[in-house]
Amino acid sequence: MDPNQFTIDGLYKAFEEQGYICEKSLVVTVFLALKLGKPLLVEGAPGVGKTEIGKVLSRVFDAQLIRLQCYEGLDENKALYEWNYQKQLLRIQLQKEGFSSDMAERDLFSAEYLLERPLLKTIRSEKPVVLLIDEVDKVEEEFEAFLFELLSDFQVSIPELGTITARQIPMVVLTSNRERDISDGLKRRCVYLFIDYPTVEKEVRILQVKAPEAGERLSREVARAINLIRANEAIGKKPAISESIDWARALVALGAESLSQEAVKHTLNIVLKNKEDIEAIVREVGVKALAAAPKA
């Protein structure tokens, strides 16, 4: 798809073709972010498909995906650029030993000795790119402030080289699990999208695309049970969409045609990954409620 010419309907269709099942409202928001040339800030619980938006966009527009995985302690050196110290030292040694021609100090700080990290790579790319800044809520506020310049003007300043401006405006997707609030400054520069867990109907459609071998009946039963589990506040970690897909596949692998009580008992650990959550669901919802009603 041409990044300069696309419509909402075209984008919606392209998302579906890539196996990303979503509401049209989500596509309208993505469309607006792209058209306005603004970063898209996607918030939501873990496992609802935030990161996948970046991946799907790169496939839809045939653009390179550059991913910056955020974590506590991430700094400019790891996100933007670093000088290749080894290469610089080697060059100095060679010159000292007389193996190299004369060299000025500024040569040591030229593009040849620059190690590009994801952000700089994005800015300097000549082809369309999707920059995925994943789990931005994990970084410190100082790093967020550093992102301001990049996300508002799409340029970065390197003291030794000056200001580098993007050759084209990249598609930027930021994701956050809302572990902490993102600063107002960063939010202001983004178009905002919140993704919640899917409804039963939507999850059935996702299962039919991602695990077609499960069939409609089993997909519906799994989606219904997953929805019941997620509605319970007693559990610590709600199952992600990928876990419901795994559950459907596991049931198919066990030869289950329907979500029986027996099948629930044997496979609940595919969906819930800790003992307390399993016990809480068994106690508060019950295996019987999760299982499908037997066929009349």
Partner 1 sequence: MKNNTPDPLLSRLVEFIHSLRRRGIRISVSETMDALNALSQVDFIDQDQVKIALSATLVKNQHDRKVFDKAYNEYFSPPGIGMQGPDQRGEGYADAGSRPEEAGGGPVSAKKESDRDWGKEFLDHARQSVEQNERMSIKPGWTKRQKNQFIETITRMQGDRQSDGTSAPLAKKTGNSLEQWHEEVKKQVEQNGPSGSRPVSSVVKEDLDKTFVSLAPGSGAKSDSESILHEDMKKIAEKDFPRVALLIKKLSRRLATRISRRYLKRRRRGRLDIRRTIRKNISFGGALIDLKFHSKKVQKPRIVLICDVSGSMARYAVFVIQFIFGLSKVVKGIESFVFSEDLERVTPYFRKGEGFVNTMSALVEKSGQWGMGTNLFYSLETFLDKHHRLLSPSVFVLIVSDAQTIQPLKAAASLKEIRGRVKNVIWLNTLPKEAWYQNIEVYEFLKYCTMFECSTLDQLNKVLSSQMLAV
**Contacts with partner 1, residue ranges (CB under 8 A):** 8, 22-26, 28-29, 31-33, 35-36, 38, 41, 43, 72-73, 85-86, 89, 93, 140, 142, 179-181, 184, 187-188, 190-202, 224, 227-228, 230-234, 236, 276, 279-280, 284-285, 289
Which residue shows structure tokens 């999208």? 193
Question: Closest separation between CB of residue 255 and partner 1, Å?
Answer: 26
Nearer to partner 1, 125 or 238 (CB): 238
Pinpoint the alpha helices (H) of the chain.
8-17, 24-36, 50-60, 76-79, 85-96, 105-108, 118-124, 141-153, 184-188, 200-210, 215-231, 241-253, 261-271, 275-284, 287-290
Which of 219, 263, 273, 221 lies closest to 245 in space, CA to CA?
219
Q: How many residues does the chain have?
A: 296
Task: Please say which residue, 107 or 213, places its beta carbon nearer to partner 1.
Answer: 107
The CB-of-5 to partner 1 minimum distance in angstroms stands at: 13
Biggest CA–CA distance in the chain, Å, is: 90
In whole angstroms, what is the distance from residue 198 CA to residue 41 CA? 19
Residue closer to partner 1, measured from CB, 39 or 125: 39
Closest distance between partner 1 and the C-beta of residue 125, in Å? 25
Cβ closest to partner 1, residue 3 vs residue 124: 3
Q: Provide, rounded to whole angstroms, the least separation between the CB of residue 69 and partner 1.
A: 17
In the bound state with partner 1, the residue whose beta carbon lies nearer, of 145 and 253, is: 145
CB-CB contact of 291 with 259 (8 Å):
yes
Please state the closest distance from residue 64 (CB atom) to partner 1, in A: 25
